[in-house]
Structure 1
Amino acid sequence: MFSSRTPGLDRLNRTHKASIAGVAAAGVAALTFSLVPGAAAHSQPSQAITASQAAFTATPDTAAQAAALHTSVFKQQVSAENTAKVQAAAKVKAAAHEKAEKTEKAKKAAAAKAKAEKKAKAEKAAKAKAKAKAKADAKKRAKAAASRSAARTPVYANNLDGWIKESLSIMKKHHIPGSYDGLHRNIMRESSGNPNAINNWDINAQNGIPSKGLLQVIPPTFAAYHVNGTSTNIYNPVANIVAAANYAADKYGSMDNVNSAY
């Protein structure tokens, strides 16, 4: 009976077996004392029964009880180990879950940041595009305005007819009276239409200030009646005509009223 193996006992380590052996010996001793009549009442300290001695008095029932005790202890030990394993697995699972949550949180944060950066970049690009478009539109409008202005600005021929017409346009802006016929008539009498004509023989020439240009204006008169916006060159056809017309308007009311040297 004592040499038979208890199911599962072979899997116990040395510490487990020692613990179970001690418990079994104590159980057998207790059973032996209970089976020997008067043993507890009449035993002396010097006659105490040891666990090994009690083992020789064990019965089949005590062996069965010891085997049952062995099994119970083994089951408790296995249960404890299983509990420890479950707890350890739970900790690992919890740690993995926490790590997964942190990873997911970081991933969402990175995605949100990337989305915000993409949005900011798109808004910046849209603003730049709108600014460029506004600039292009302004340039286009300015060009169109310049084109309209150029279209409204008449182009005058570089001849006597063109000079007179351009002079009349300027005279109108400055409220200087005079007509095409009046200007043309006096120009033909004074210079025959030559803008570089100069009088080197009259009294003005003798005084060192000869008459010059289409309407034979002396330099002091040209300077005094020069109209802003025209050339300061006395030989310039338009500047000469406008200055002479301005002088004639001041002295005679209009170049139209001049029919001789003035």
Structure 2
Amino acid sequence: MPNFTLPRPARITRTHKVTAALVGTASCAAALAFTAAPSDAETTSAAAPAAVKPVSANGLPLTAKDRADDGKQARAVASSVAAGLKVTAVEKQNHAAEQTANRSIERKALVAPKAAPKAPKAPKATPKRYANNLDGWIRESLDIMKDKGIPGSYEGLHRNIMRESSGNPNAVNNWDINAINGVPSKGLLQVIQPTFDAYHVSGTPHKLTDPIANITAAANYAADRYGSIDNVDSAY
């Protein structure tokens, strides 16, 4: 058997024991600190919320009123959380509905229809002018008769005028029975004063020898007596 000597066991002194205890204590503290402190990634993820730009339901930026309302709601929720209260789903739903209504009103205000342009005023009708002769007198009388519903034609008026006065508005009959009775026939259609007064057409001069007044009164009388001046072919 070979001859060898066993190593002498080392002696642990008091100094060695104190040093080992200090090292052990420091290691435990470091381990506790490492376990208690969260990693940088976890701290950043938990503490920093995702940045979200506030926008409206249709993607447009929020108005000042919306941001003010949202700020109030956020503060109310934060207060509830700080006080240990739960924010209910109904409160969130009510807030969302209020925001939607506000934005709807704002959109309607933005797209309000433009006022329709005013229609141009119709130009004033130019008064119709008539020649101061027999043709003009007949045409003006026909327009008045048409407006008053008195029948008669240009031909019927012209034919009777030419027979009664030859177109002279101042013609006077001083020989017939009317003249003998003191009420001579006058004017284009030889009308006596009582007949003229009874059948005078409003809007025309109240003068027996006025061409327009004389024609329209005679046509009014003929329409009442014969149906129309067109039906008169002789003295009437």
For the pair shown, the structure with the greater C-alpha radius of gyration is: 1
Q: Determine which structure has the larger helix proportion and give its number.
A: 1
TM-score scaled by length of structure 2:
0.48
TM-score scaled by length of structure 1:
0.44
